[in-house]
Amino acid sequence: MSVFVFFLQGTVVLLLAPLATGCVRWCKARFQGRHGASPFLPYVRFLTLLRKEMVIAETASWIFHAAPFVVLCTAVFVAFSLPLLTSAPPPGGLDNFILFAAILALGSVFLVLGGLDPGTAFGGMGASREMTLASLVEPAMITALAAFAVVSDNSAISGMLAAGGASLLQHPALVLSLVALGLVALAENARYPVDNPATHLELTMVHEAMILEYSGAYLAIIELASSIRLTVFALLLANLLVPFPLLATAISFSGALATIGATVAKLVIAMFLLALWESSIPKMRFYRMQEYLSGAFFIALAGLAFSLLSLP
């Protein structure tokens, strides 16, 4: 039965992922006074890209071909293993927070390798920027999640969400960790103020520069993976803030429906807030990134320190 819960969660997240991307684009367009494309456009785009011919650089090696699948696998892994719709612990403790960070890093590394592999100027440029960011993002993310682990005495993310775990009401210091995690999530998903996912200016790109050489089905895969990551982070943050309604191991039909409805609502609200955030600030100068991410790290560190002090 437990496996069925995770299968249901993974399927729902995978199906909702393109909607997340579409939603944030639609909201941004409305904030700009434009009509905006339908939030469901990313589904059409995914199917269109799958059918398109791929143009691949002659210099590309097997790494270029493998990278999209590795990136997708890491995204699918976190979509299935983390407590997004359920608070039940996955088999084998797959939702360990260190493992989560490592799996995300694996995806980043392969994306970087895929960007470097064809040997084009923009790919290398984006790869170098991504590695700079990744090295700053990882410590902040682990520190932020460590605070949750400390107060719930559980290194599994599902344990942090479970009853008697890391509730914000009982442990207000975790607000700091949650803020840090939010800042990290923006950087990890190539959103403002770190990266502009909608820009056409190659020289300013980070994530988009790495995937410039990808086309057709590979591009569809990478875009889906990005959407899944965005969805996972949005739901994870929402669950850390409001850890219900989540499915238990034994589920009922109505309970599943309610959870799915709540998940869609959480996702739409999160994407609305993201669009609001991205419409109200400009992108940060690239050399300010270390200040932004060090800031995130120190907020996370403060959250961890206060959490340790508040332990009985």
Partner 1 sequence: MNSLLDTLGLRDRDASVSGALCVRVERERFAEVATLLAHNHHLPLSLLYATDDRKTQGTYGVHAVFEGGQSGWLMLSTALPSDDARYASVTRTVLAAHWYERYAADMFGIVADGHPDPRRLVLHENMPEGVHPLRKDFAWNTRLPHANVPYPMHHVDGEGIYEIPVGPIHAGIIEPGHFRFNVAGERIIALEGKLFFTHKGCEKLLEGKNAKAALPFIERISGDASASHALAFCQAMETLAGCAVPARANDIRTLLCELERITMHVFDIGNIIGNGTGYTVLAAHGFRLREDMMRLSHSLCGNRFWRGMIVPGGCARDLDDRALRAVRSCLDAVCFDAARLFAMAMRSDAVRERLETTGTLRRDAALAYGAVGTTARASGIDRDVRRDHPYASYPRCPFRVAVHTSGDVYARLLVRSEELAASAAIVRHLLQDFSSGPILVPCSPTSGTAIGAVESWRGELLHVVRMHEGVIDRCAVRDPSFCNWPLFGEIGPGNIVPDFPLCNKSLNLSYSGTDL
Nearest residue (CB) to partner 1, 32 versus 59? 32
State which residue, 13 or 275, has the beta carbon closest to partner 1: 275
Question: Two tokens at 218?
Answer: 């590979």
Residue 277 tokens read as 């955030």
**Least distance (Å) between residue 215 CB and partner 1:** 14
Shortest Å, Cβ 210 to partner 1: 14
What is each CA distance from 297 to 105, 142, 179, 188, in whole angstroms?
17, 9, 10, 14
Rounded Cα distance between 286 and 209, Å, is: 14
Residue 36 token pair? 């905006």
**How many residues are listed for the chain in this entry?**
312
For residue 247, give the 3-state DSSP assignment.
Answer: strand
CB of 194 to partner 1, least distance (A): 11
Task: Write down the least CB distance from residue 172 to partner 1, Å.
Answer: 29
Burial readout 177-202 (b: 16 or more C-beta within 10 A, e: otherwise) = bbbbbbbbbbbbbbbbbbbbbeeeee
CB of 191: closest distance to partner 1 in angstroms?
11
Task: Tell me how far the alpha carbon of residue 3 is from its chain's centroid.
Answer: 23
Please identify, using beta-carbon distances, which residue of 6 and 122 lies nearer to partner 1. 122
In terms of CB distance, is 104 or 187 closer to partner 1? 187
| Shortest CB 122 distance to partner 1, Å | 7
Give the closest residue to 226 by CA, choosing from 42, 7, 87: 42
Kindly list the residues in this chain that would bind partner 1 in the complex (CB under 8 A). Answer: 28, 31-34, 121-122, 124-125, 128-129, 192-193, 196, 198-204, 278-288
3-state secondary structure of 103: helix
Considering the complex, state which of residue 58 and residue 254 has its C-beta at the smaller distance from partner 1. 58
Nearer of residues 2 and 204 to partner 1, judged by Cβ: 204
Is residue 1 within 8 A of residue 249, CB to CB? The reply is: yes
- How far apart are the C-alpha atoms of 78 and 267, rounded to whole Å? 16
Do 249 and 5 touch, CB atoms closer than 8 A?
A: yes
For partner 1, give the closer residue by CB, 132 or 167: 132
